[in-house]
Structure 1
């Protein structure tokens, strides 16, 4: 494990979209999925807008590791459960960052119905 640099946090945290792929059991990288990303403090998170049945989410849980691309940064990561105490600040950040979109679109990633599909993106060495 390693830490995000300040530059990585800034660039990924302010990126409009994140591309995320999981490693397969044979060590190859699966397809990238485009999603939203939010930063709270020194942590980066994403949520499954389509709940626990979303393909990317199931693959991420099964693998536990993958690769992300956003803001010109590409990095191997571990997929970890989100911090239960950090859900409301994360909701606030999603609203701040993506509030220009319709409320029903932002609602797909905020609120208690998405807390259990919050994924912390923990940086790994390549």
Structure 2
């Protein structure tokens, strides 16, 4: 299924954030071929969709997302072509809270709200 060429709607963001099946595939260096889809966590804050790299900014998908600025996601039964932008600043406190709420009880939560992962926060749009 080819991805839809549009930014995510608020409805899409709500559906994606409520699900736990988010796969990200930034473009490869050629800017045409998608990388291998990687399952990651996603959260919603103020009608925006955010993801973080568990292994920080050295993560392969994160490096590709920051270099290529675009790719596709597959989540909540949807495939979408999207763009990626880095996130920094106070919004990360709200993103931390969203991770705590959505993934409460997970043994991976502390890593996802660590400085390493926070430094690799990405807005998906």
State the TM-score, normalizing by the size of structure 2.
0.87
Which residue of structure 2 aligns with residue 101 of structure 1? 106
Among 99, 114, 117, the alignment partner of 1:114 is: 117
1:85 and 2:90 equivalent? Answer: yes
1:67 and 2:72 equivalent? Answer: yes
Q: Deviations over 1:27-69 (max 9, x none)?
A: 1111100100010011001001111111111111121110001
Cα RMSD of the aligned pairs, angstroms, is 1.7
Task: Note the residue ranges of structure 1 that are not aligned, 5 or more in a row.
Answer: none
How far did residue 116 of structure 1 move? 1.7
Are the equivalent residues in 2 in contact too, given 1:15–1:70 (CA < 8 A)?
yes
Q: Deviations over 1:3-43 (max 9, x none)?
A: 43232011111111310001121511111001000100110
Which SS does the other structure have where 1:66 is aligned?
A: strand
1:34 and 2:21 equivalent? Answer: no
State the TM-score, normalizing by the size of structure 1.
0.86
CA distance in 1, matches of 2:6, 2:88: 18
Task: Note the residue ranges of structure 2 that are not aligned, 5 or more in a row.
Answer: none
CA distance in 2, matches of 1:64, 1:4: 15
Aligned residues: 120
CA distance in 1, matches of 2:23, 2:35: 12
Which residue of structure 2 aligns with residue 18 of structure 1? 22
After TM superposition, what 4+ stretches of structure 1 lie above 4 angstroms from structure 2?
Answer: none
